[in-house]
Amino acid sequence: MPAIQVNMIQHAAALAEIARIVGPAGVLADADAAPLLRDERGLYRGAAALVVRPSTVEQVAAVVRVCHDARLGVVPQGGNTGYCGGATPFDGERQVLLSLSRLNRVREVDDVGFTMTAEAGVVLANAQSAAREHGLLLPLSMGSEGSAQIGGNLSTNAGGLAVLRYGTMRELVLGLEVVLPNGEVLSALKGLRKDNTGYDLKAMFLGAEGTLGVITAAVLKLFPEPRSRQTAWLAVASLDAACTLLGRARRESGDQVVSAEYVSRRSLDLVLKHVAGAREPLEQPATHYLLLELASADDDAGLRAKLERVLAGGLASGEILDGTIADSLAQRSALWMLRERVPEAEKRDGGSVKHDVSVRIGRIAEFVARAEPALAAVAPHRLSIYGHIGDGNLHFNVLPPAGQGIDEFRAEPGEALSTCVHDLAAELGGSFSAEHGVGILKVHELERYQLPTAVALMRAMKRALDPHGIMNPGKMLGR
Ligand code: 2HG
Ligand code: ZN
């Protein structure tokens, strides 16, 4: 029998075995499988030989073992909210889509040690609520928290809106449970704060985008829940002024700043145009805005007075032109909406070519000052610039000129514009992907901008853990 036919028989038998392992409730077909085969942004239409949703870690391990033995690819998927196509399978014969959504138990909240043990398929918002029931905070927070899952957050080292205070997902992890590419389970869920017993193995899987194994559970750090918050929407003189003001706010508030989000006038205009209920926040329009939030677990922290002092200093030195402080939860939500719903507004406007770059905070203004003319020289476009300036992370998004469709624009001149943005980030010592990861979308960028020694080390790790290349094939490191 020709080799190819033998392989096909082996694959068919392996797929039947996988279906048996997960049982009828664990196999998705047709209309149920279709949404999992498309990515959030609609950039990719994927295909898989089988779409499964195991309900236990043992089932995940058994499925991966069968895939390993039959050399079938495994594409892990959480809430499927990623921006880079990292959770989309691309082979209708030799890849299995493994959804973690049925592994959705919070196994434990330890309110003495301030930790949570949660399975990969727990939706982020549910994990936050579970912590809140104990008066604790899981600080990871982002627009997609109603659908994004813990496993995806870990695998992409998610960032979001409170990184400035609490760090990215990587900094919130005390332990992991991972199904390795050969089906073995690495169960490292002790949740110890201190444990100097060799390499930090969990670090390999955080941000690995499912290329080294399948994360099935994690021990996460929790914090006291904030009891007081103060939120200000400020018109600032420039991006430089926003960064100086952030430093001032951190120093003068006793480091109580949780979020410092930049919104350009052009991004705000998109929100005002496309999002129902969005209102102009200040009397006079301005070019640059900063959303600044302070929080404390102490309900008597005097945050309002601290914020007012910071703002008075910022006004006197010319960093702030105008501003408003939220006086109620409703006002706070109205201000946050103007920032959080920029991605939705871009989508409603027809879509954007997204850039998720980071540079040192002190170089953000230089980045924008150089990027704008450089892009203008390439082709006509519109810009929507916003993001987490407290983390040095800008979403420098490019929209087609009015009247032009995004699909046509994405190919030409979108790619040339992206190269221009990424080249500049690299030149300023920054990153082409601060928080959205690599997936399939930015494989070439990793090759182009990451240090060759780092890429070689990553490839060596991949070979050591996954010698047959079954884990999320083609993602991050390419073929
Ligand atoms: C955000 O900060 C997200 O809102 C999405 O990272 C950014 O859509 C984008 O470009
Ligand atoms: Zn972001």
Q: Does domain 350-436 have CATH number 3.30.70.1450?
A: no
CB 110 within 8 A of CB 67: no
CATH number for the domain whose boundaries are 3-99: 3.30.43.10
Check if 354 has its Cβ closer than 6 Å to any atom of ligand 1.
yes
Quick check: 161 pLDDT over 80?
Answer: yes
Quick check: 277 pLDDT over 80?
Answer: yes
CA distance 346 to 382: 11
Residue 386 CA: which ligand 1 atom is closest? 2
Predicted confidence at residue 8, as pLDDT, reads: 73
Residue 436 CA: which ligand 1 atom is closest? 6
CA distance 135 to 122: 19
Inter-axis angle of helices 329-340 and 265-274, nearest 10: 110
Q: Tally Cβ neighbours within 10 Å of residue 3.
A: 7
How do residues 215-274 score in pLDDT, each as one tens digit?
999 999 999 999 999 999 999 999 999 999 999 999 999 999 999 999 999 999 999 999
What's the gap in Å between 362 CA and the centre of ligand 1? 21
Atom 8, ligand 1: which residue's CA is nearest? 343
The token pair that represents 435 in the structure block = 């928080």
Quick check: 363 pLDDT over 80?
Answer: yes
Predicted confidence at residue 7, as pLDDT, reads: 75
Fold match between domain 228-343 and domain 350-436: yes
Q: Does domain 228-343 have CATH number 3.30.70.2190?
A: yes
% of the chain exceeding 70 in pLDDT: 99
Check if 143 has its Cβ closer than 6 Å to any atom of ligand 1.
yes
Residue 435 CA: which ligand 1 atom is closest? 6
Predicted confidence at residue 412, as pLDDT, reads: 93
Quick check: 6 pLDDT over 90?
Answer: no
CB 174 within 8 A of CB 192: yes
**Domain map of the chain by residue range?**
3-99, 106-224, 228-343, 350-436
Check if 395 has its Cβ closer than 6 Å to any atom of ligand 1.
yes
* Over residues 450-475, mean pLDDT: 98
The token pair that represents 173 in the structure block = 């992890």
Predicted confidence at residue 301, as pLDDT, reads: 83
What's the gap in Å between 349 CA and the centre of ligand 1? 15
CA distance 444 to 75: 20
Predicted confidence at residue 3, as pLDDT, reads: 64
Quick check: 1 pLDDT over 70?
Answer: no
Check if 167 has its Cβ closer than 6 Å to any atom of ligand 1.
no
Residue 354 CA: which ligand 1 atom is closest? 10
Check if 302 has its Cβ closer than 6 Å to any atom of ligand 1.
no
pLDDT band at 328 (very low <50, low <70, confident <90, very high): very high
Nearest to 320 by CA among 270, 249, 391: 249
Name the residue of 83, 267, 346, 396 whose CB sits within 8 Å of the most ligand 1 atoms, as the mutation to test its pocket. 83
* Over residues 470-476, mean pLDDT: 98
What's the gap in Å between 150 CA and the centre of ligand 1? 18
The pTM for the full model equals 0.97
CATH class of 106-224: alpha beta
CB 116 within 8 A of CB 140: no
Predicted confidence at residue 308, as pLDDT, reads: 98
How do residues 174-231 score in pLDDT, each as one tens digit?
999 999 999 999 999 999 999 999 999 999 999 999 999 999 999 999 999 999 999 9
